[in-house]
Chains A and B, each alone.
Chain A
Amino acid sequence: MSGFTGFALRRTVSAVLTLLALSVIIYVVFYATPGNVAQITCGPRCSPEQVHQVAQQLRLDDPLYLRYWHFLQGIVAGHDYSTGTSVEHCPAPCLGLSYQSDQQVTQIILNKLPVSLSLVLGGMVLWLLLGVGTGVLSAWRRGRFTERALTGLTLAGIATPAFVIGLVLMIVVCGQLEILPFPEYVAFSDDPEQWMWGLLLPWVTLALAEAAYFARLTRASMLETLAEDHIRTFRAYGVGERSIVGRHALRGALAPIIALNANDFGSAVGGAVLVESLFGLPGIGQELVHAVTVVDLPVVVGMVLVIGFFVVLANAVADVLYAVADRRVVLA
């Protein structure tokens, strides 16, 4: 379908443009704030010399667009940083150097990324299963006790922030019942089984927090589809409830679920930050919170950009999937 390829292509271009715009906004917001950027970057305890040094390293004398251009160049082509005595090469994509550790930001992110990806992707599988499953069950058992109980549980899920769920789970499961050890990250390549056990509780926490939204949406869209005319047709032709709910109503709910999963990805990443902090998982979120507390701007900007990249990517993928799920979008 050539219309479809065209659509996917347009979507990719627009994703790249969005990302560029996002990088401009983020760069401007963080490096053009009123006040002495060098002072903020360096921290309150810096001496005037140190502040001056930072200002030079940040090229604060250059106009903003030049500095941004420089930043972009680093991402595309890499950079060489002189650290006084030696020259350090920072290969593309170079996001700069941390002010705290002088480490390359790209390297920091690459070190932390597996933890966060494990957490979010594993959690996503779980919350889709849990959320969509609950929604389907509610729509199928509508008007009965099962549905009312599930609706209550879903509301409770929405009313409890991720960190409260995690806190309670940790205290009950690990502290009181001692069913699971306190979560600890073990790399998948080291020991897949430990990797799974260590992430189980974080996954469940993240999934419980997100699943509630999916359960609500799935139930609502399925009920909406069930009220449509074509469902009436299949009823009038003696098609059974199982097929009506499982085949026709669920199919109608598919596109909105995909859309929500994309929209929700950003908030799920936020949830992941909380979960990492709570369980002490050494992921991007925990590093970001750390960088924010010590005001390590290059790390903050780099991480926000990388996370933004994933969110934009997720949105683009979801849009293409959405178009597949709802072909009328492309044709319209």
Chain B
Amino acid sequence: MSEALVATEVPEASVSGTSGARQFWRRLRAQRAAMVAAFVVALLVLVALAAPLLTALEGQDPTSYHPSLVDSARGGVPIGSFGGISADHWLGVEPQTGRDLFARLLYGARVSLGVALTATAVQVLLGVVVGVAAALGNRWVDQLLSRITDIIVAMPLMIMALALLAIVPSSFSRPVLVALIIGFVAWGTIGKIARAQTLTLKELDYVAAARLSGWGTLRIARRELLPGLAAPVITYAALMVPANISIEASLSFLGVGVKPPTPSWGQMLSSADVWYQAAPQYLLLPAAALFLTVLALTVLGDGVRTALDPRAASRLRIGTGRRQESKAGKEGSA
């Protein structure tokens, strides 16, 4: 773009004292889509947290069977129109078991978000520790840790998760297990990012200046390197949350992830295709919940990236650069 052409001539920003965090919020707020997504995510988190309260309001819980509400003669189709929607069961009941759908959907959000966030936390922790250690360690440490990271990256997550879920005794809490497996098998990429970024930061003059000041390695890592690592790591982590939600749903869909009676959206969908005519909401609700959650988190993740790296943003034209580029597009194709 010819913007780059003129950028060198524009005097340096003379913005008055804004710290990094404040700038970040300002840039995030400037993006409408990201703000809508943030609102949706906040709502989801709130709903997940308030699930016991909301279900109490309905007067139901996610695990009680209601055999009287399904027609066992017809294979367990919910009795009543629209899959058994009634004043007692706001979204109807599950086929065969008669469990309350509203409650299961809400508690499913707890599982989805809980698993995804825990998994992401484990990924970030492992990735950053290994990545930074590799970048700061000597040649042998770096070689060893980098090879380990390579192997981790080569492990197909779904396959490893499937296999690992088979051997752990079922007494172990499934949601926790799923989160830990995702966390321990899929930290490779973030490890690579952390290493590359640390290597870049290490060469910067301000790190050399800190060394000349007389500080030791640990203090330099803490004060000069880790803060510089935050932006790329947060950016990547923000996009890992929705990916992890998909993984959990997929595993539960295959019947090896979160198992009944704990509700999970993926698990609900695993038998939904049989019931889509009798109880369409049994398919549509968890699918829509999953779609909305992943979508909102992805859009929010994009927004976070844009706010943290405005240069990438102007390239990707998320947000403010749109008008300028659209003109460039017209010129080019005319």
Contact = CB atoms under 8 A, between A and B. Distances in A.
Interface string B135-165: 0000000000001001101111111101111
B218 interface: no
Contacts of B316: 220, 223
Contact of A22 (B154, B167, B273, B298): B154
Interface string A133-156: 000000011111000000000011
A274 B315 contact: no
B3 to A, nearest CB: 8
Interface in B317-333: 317, 322, 325-330, 332-333
Interface stretch (B44-52, B85-93, B103-111, B289-297): B289-297
Contacts of A164: 269, 287, 290-291
Nearest to B324: A143
Interface stretch (B68-76, B94-102, B209-217, B250-258): B250-258
Contacts of B165: 292
Given A167-B287, A315-B154, A29 B164 contact: yes
B167 A30 contact: yes
Chain A interface, DSSP helix/strand/loop, else mixed: helix
Interface string B1-43: 1111100000000000000000000000000000000000000
B315 A227 contact: yes
Interface in A281-332: 288-289, 291-293, 295, 297, 300-301, 303-304, 307-308, 311-312, 315
Given A22-B154, A167-B283, A308-B156, A227 B291 contact: no
Interface residues of A, number: 69
Interface string A219-247: 01001101111011001000011001100
Interface stretch (A71-79, A80-88, A100-108, A265-273): A265-273
A165 to B, nearest CB: 10
B195 to A, nearest CB: 16
A13 to B, nearest CB: 12
Interface string A24-47: 010001100101000010000000
A267 B157 CA distance: 7
A301 B166 CA distance: 11
A292 B156 contact: no
B151 A143 contact: no
Nearest to A269: B156
A228 B150 CA distance: 31
A132 interface: no
A226 B1 contact: yes
Contacts of B314: 227
Contacts of B84: none
Contacts of A312: 154
A99 interface: no
A116 to B, nearest CB: 12
B116 to A, nearest CB: 13
Q: Is the interface of B mostly helix, strand, loop or mixed?
A: helix
A232 B151 contact: no
Contacts of A114: none
Given A158-B298, A227-B315, A143 B253 contact: no
A181 to B, nearest CB: 16
A93 interface: no
A288 B169 CA distance: 18
Nearest to B1: A227
Interface in A158-175: 158-164, 167-168, 170-171, 175
A277 interface: yes
B22 to A, nearest CB: 27
A25 B151 CA distance: 9
B304 interface: no
Contacts of A40: 167, 169
Contacts of B328: 142-143
Contacts of B1: 226-227, 231-232
Contact of B167 (A33, A161, A167, A241): A33
Contact of B159 (A25, A158, A162, A273): A273
Contacts of A311: 154-156
Nearest to A25: B151
A267 B164 CA distance: 16
Interface of A: 14, 17-18, 21-22, 25, 29-30, 33, 35, 40, 140-144, 155-156, 158-164, 167-168, 170-171, 175, 220, 223-224, 226-229, 231-232, 235, 240-241, 244-245, 263, 266-267, 269-271, 273-274, 277, 288-289, 291-293, 295, 297, 300-301, 303-304, 307-308, 311-312, 315
Given A164-B269, A227-B4, A229-B4, 10 more contacts: A30-B167, A40-B169, A141-B333, A164-B287, A266-B156, A270-B157, A274-B158, A300-B163, A303-B159, A304-B159
16 contacts: A14-B150, A142-B317, A143-B317, A143-B326, A143-B328, A159-B294, A159-B298, A160-B294, A167-B273, A223-B317, A232-B5, A293-B255, A295-B167, A303-B159, A308-B154, A311-B156
